[in-house]
């Protein structure tokens, strides 16, 4: 599973959000069909541009509660002082993507920035193989 996390300034358009998501996909050579979900901070739940972009891209939008955003934020790789002041996490896009992709998820790369929108792609961790764990598995 790959999650596209989105962060933005207020009032972004669906076109701006789509362009940032498409830019991140192009940068990291990921196809839209490989994206399972789009994620954004719950604080952005009333942003029509984000909601419309998710619909246009055919992605289910998950709004990430603040506590989950903060828990995943420790794994972010980029930092915006503005975002830290507003949301308490280093990167809204990275934290949202990581939170939805799971506790052991990793970023495919640093967030992609295009104008007022950022997009980060996080990949769910591969399941643990019991045969490689201590004790030899089943």
Question: What was the pLDDT predicted at 128?
Answer: 56
Q: Three-state DSSP class for 46? A: coil
Please check the confidence at residue 138 and state whether its pLDDT lies above 60. Answer: no
Question: What was the pLDDT predicted at 130?
Answer: 56
* Banded model confidence at residue 45, pLDDT cuts 50, 70, 90: confident
* Banded model confidence at residue 2, pLDDT cuts 50, 70, 90: very high
Please check the confidence at residue 115 and state whether its pLDDT lies above 60. Answer: yes
Question: What was the pLDDT predicted at 35?
Answer: 97
CA distances from residue 5 to 20, 89, 130, 134, 137 in whole angstroms, order as listed: 10, 13, 30, 34, 35
Mean pLDDT lowest for which of 48-52, 73-77, 90-94, 132-136? Answer: 132-136
Tens-place pLDDT, residues 8-27? 999 999 999 999 999 999 99
Class of domain 2-125: alpha beta
Helix 66-73 × helix 92-101 angle, to 10°: 100
Distance CA 107, CA 50 (A): 21
| Domain parsing of the chain, residue ranges | 2-125
In the DSSP assignment, the letter for residue 138 is -
């Amino acid at each position: 599973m790959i999650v596209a996390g989105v962060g933005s300034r207020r009032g972004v358009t669906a076109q701006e959000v789509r362009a940032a998501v498409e830019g991140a996909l192009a940068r990291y050579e990921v196809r839209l069909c490989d994206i399972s979900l789009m994620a954004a901070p719950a604080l952005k739940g009333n942003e029509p541009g984000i909601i419309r972009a998710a619909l246009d891209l055919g992605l289910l939008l998950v709004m990430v509660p603040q506590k989950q955003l903060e828990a995943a934020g420790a794994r972010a790789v980029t930092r915006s002082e503005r975002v830290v002041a507003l949301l308490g996490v280093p990167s809204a896009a990275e934290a949202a993507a990581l939170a939805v992709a799971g506790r052991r998820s990793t970023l495919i790369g640093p967030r992609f920035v295009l104008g007022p929108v950022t997009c980060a792609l996080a990949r769910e961790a591969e399941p643990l193989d019991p045969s490689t764990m201590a004790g030899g598995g089943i």
